Chain A
């Protein structure tokens, strides 16, 4: 243990001992960040009518309540459908956009890129209000279509950035080689470029799924009626009655999200290892 403290931690010969304060600080920050999230997990297994910590009696009743409630099931189904469709829309659109930006030699490429990632920079509430008014005008408020569209706008910047960075380390002359060998451009893209950025594509797809699945602000405005998302219903439930069902659902969502994030990480790593 003490020997380890004296070992260099980096090329610059700083020892682990000298870095100790940094490690402690990192742990404190992580605890502060993660604890509030994790606290709902024990709360969800409580038998109490109210959210309480620590629970006095353990039970699965709130999970049962969630699974047997038609409203919660409808919301879950909506969220999953929306997230899945968002993934299907945003991933191909984003991949094509990133490819276009990468391959094109036009001068306004930079501007086009900034334009595509604006949804990431504008405050979400503004996007939500804007989308709400537009949807109200054209009558697609509370529809699955509208929801998917809005979420795709939010997911698109992520896809463009992830794919764009993957393409940076890809040698485009391979595609030219394929074309000179007789492949039309689209075929060169599908058979040569796409297989080599596949990990980035999977990562981007998972991220766009998550973007939609976790999203609450825009969903508050444009989901509802027949198509309420899980996040929206949770938010409303919190306002009306504080009920441990929320904790149960949160726990499930944390599990799903963590799982997908880990997947995305793994694919990201594979990509890094491949380069």
Chain B
């Protein structure tokens, strides 16, 4: 049994590259995961998330680079000696064993006493809210229950690192939302360093301490959910996380302007050759009383108004032809004050919400 003070281990990934033929699955990836941190790899399909996880787990040997758990270099350590918990996208439960048999498997390998195995199995099952399910057969479980068994099996031997590859992708939305919260609680309780893979941005934003956005085998940005959303480092990240429209802007000295109109902003723009104004649908506002003092105002024409129950979506065309999406609340009178298609409208963006990012295509 491990002592209480060495609960989690930091992971240090340096310069890891993995190529499959001409494909750079991982391209010089470096990532420091702090001990006890919940980090999420987020990226589109084929971006290399699974490959990076497989490198950490030891199933894929990278072409070069270093991987350390704490002080220990593990790049040459076989998977079974890395002592980390892992859940697979397909659950990978053992159908020829019972639920308890599955969860006991890692403990049996570690040659624990029978009584202790039984006790820890039951405790792990209780942790994932499956107490008393030990005798069930795997085939008798629902998707969410299978997911929980897989989780119990990966934490029962108290690994100091937990890897999860899209663990919730097979579940329906309701169960997924519930499991997200549960996983988060579990992480707070057990405190192991966790690397989580998903391509669902909301899931990543909900669960993570930090998110690494991956694209084409490279980490585009590593930041907290809030920073990632508010201050994306480049267009790829801004586009991938949340919906956004980009408007071309010109810089002259300290001043940045859009279509000849100087912009008011709070956060200094990045020092890049080109800039773009990122407009999020929930940050831009429909102004009912015309241009507003102290904000950036855009004249536009309403193109489409979509009522969506909890909100409405307005598509408006700016004078330069760009289509902008705006999401608004449906509280009180705002619903009746909605414009009709073809109406001239004024959209305003507060200086705090005026985010300028690197304008080059990533």
Chain A interface (Cβ < 8 Å from any Cβ of B): 171, 173-174, 176-185, 187-188, 191-192, 195-196
- Measured between beta carbons, the chain A residues less than 8 angstroms from B89 are 173
Are B78 and A173 within 8 A (Cβ)?
no
Q: Which of B64-72, B80-88, B292-300, B311-319 is the contact stretch?
A: B80-88
Are B86 and A180 within 8 A (Cβ)?
yes
Are A182 and B92 within 8 A (Cβ)?
no
- Measured between beta carbons, the chain B residues less than 8 angstroms from A174 are 92-94
Q: Which of B57, B95, B154 contacts A196 (CB 8 A)?
A: B95
Identify the closest chain A residue to B87 (Cβ): A177
Q: Which of A171, A181, A187, A195 contacts B90 (CB 8 A)?
A: A171
Assess A180 versus B96: contact at CB under 8 Å? Given A171-B90, A173-B90: no
Are B157 and A181 within 8 A (Cβ)?
yes
Q: Lowest 5 CB-CB distances: which A-B pairs, in order?
A: A177-B92, A181-B106, A180-B86, A173-B92, A182-B109
16 more CB-based (< 8 A) A-B contacts, given A179-B59, A180-B59: A173-B88, A173-B89, A177-B88, A177-B93, A177-B150, A177-B153, A178-B105, A179-B79, A179-B80, A180-B57, A180-B82, A181-B153, A182-B83, A183-B80, A184-B80, A196-B95
CA distance A178 to B110 in the complex (A): 13
Closest beta carbon of chain B to A187's beta carbon, Å: 8
CA distance A183 to B78 in the complex (A): 10
- Measured between beta carbons, the chain B residues less than 8 angstroms from A188 are 80
CA distance A195 to B82 in the complex (A): 25
- Measured between beta carbons, the chain A residues less than 8 angstroms from B58 are 180
A interface SS class = helix
Closest beta carbon of chain A to B238's beta carbon, Å: 34
- Measured between beta carbons, the chain A residues less than 8 angstroms from B110 are 182
Chain B interface (Cβ < 8 Å from any Cβ of A): 57-59, 78-80, 82-86, 88-90, 92-96, 105-106, 109-110, 150, 153-154, 157, 163
What are some 21 contacts across the A-B interface (CB < 8 A)?
Answer: A171-B90, A174-B93, A174-B94, A176-B59, A177-B94, A177-B150, A178-B105, A179-B80, A180-B79, A180-B85, A181-B85, A181-B154, A182-B109, A182-B110, A183-B80, A184-B80, A185-B80, A187-B109, A188-B80, A191-B105, A196-B96
Are A181 and B109 within 8 A (Cβ)?
yes
- Measured between beta carbons, the chain B residues less than 8 angstroms from A195 are 96
Q: Which of B94, B95, B106 contacts A182 (CB 8 A)?
A: B106
Are A176 and B88 within 8 A (Cβ)?
yes
CA distance A185 to B79 in the complex (A): 9
- Measured between beta carbons, the chain B residues less than 8 angstroms from A176 are 57, 59, 79, 88, 92
CA distance A51 to B92 in the complex (A): 61
- Measured between beta carbons, the chain B residues less than 8 angstroms from A185 are 78, 80
Closest beta carbon of chain A to B22's beta carbon, Å: 15
Closest beta carbon of chain B to A186's beta carbon, Å: 10
CA distance A195 to B95 in the complex (A): 10
- Measured between beta carbons, the chain B residues less than 8 angstroms from A180 are 57-59, 79-80, 82, 84-86, 154, 163
Identify the closest chain B residue to A173 (Cβ): B92
- Measured between beta carbons, the chain A residues less than 8 angstroms from B163 are 180
Identify the closest chain B residue to A274 (Cβ): B95
CA distance A181 to B159 in the complex (A): 9
Closest beta carbon of chain B to A197's beta carbon, Å: 10
- Measured between beta carbons, the chain A residues less than 8 angstroms from B86 are 177, 180
CA distance A249 to B46 in the complex (A): 63
Are A182 and B157 within 8 A (Cβ)?
yes
CA distance A195 to B94 in the complex (A): 10
- Measured between beta carbons, the chain A residues less than 8 angstroms from B84 are 180
Are B92 and A183 within 8 A (Cβ)?
no
Closest beta carbon of chain A to B345's beta carbon, Å: 53
Are B92 and A171 within 8 A (Cβ)?
yes
Identify the closest chain B residue to A175 (Cβ): B92
- Measured between beta carbons, the chain A residues less than 8 angstroms from B90 are 171, 173
Q: Of B58, B80, B163, which is in contact with the most chain A CB atoms at under 10 Å from its CB?
A: B80
Closest beta carbon of chain A to B196's beta carbon, Å: 15
Are A181 and B105 within 8 A (Cβ)?
yes
CA distance A195 to B85 in the complex (A): 23
- Measured between beta carbons, the chain A residues less than 8 angstroms from B150 are 177
CA distance A58 to B94 in the complex (A): 58
Identify the closest chain B residue to A172 (Cβ): B92
Q: Of A173, A182, A196, which is in contact with the most chain B CB atoms at under 10 Å from its CB?
A: A182
- Measured between beta carbons, the chain B residues less than 8 angstroms from A177 are 86, 88, 92-94, 150, 153
Identify the closest chain B residue to A184 (Cβ): B80
- Measured between beta carbons, the chain A residues less than 8 angstroms from B95 are 196
Closest beta carbon of chain A to B130's beta carbon, Å: 18
- Measured between beta carbons, the chain A residues less than 8 angstroms from B59 are 176, 179-180
Identify the closest chain A residue to B156 (Cβ): A181
Are A182 and B80 within 8 A (Cβ)?
yes
Q: Of B58, B82, B88, B94, which is in contact with the most chain A CB atoms at under 10 Å from its CB?
A: B94
Closest beta carbon of chain A to B258's beta carbon, Å: 50
CA distance A191 to B102 in the complex (A): 11
Are A183 and B109 within 8 A (Cβ)?
yes
CA distance A178 to B59 in the complex (A): 12
CA distance A176 to B93 in the complex (A): 11
CA distance A185 to B78 in the complex (A): 9
- Measured between beta carbons, the chain B residues less than 8 angstroms from A173 are 88-90, 92
CA distance A176 to B95 in the complex (A): 15
CA distance A65 to B150 in the complex (A): 64
Identify the closest chain B residue to A179 (Cβ): B79
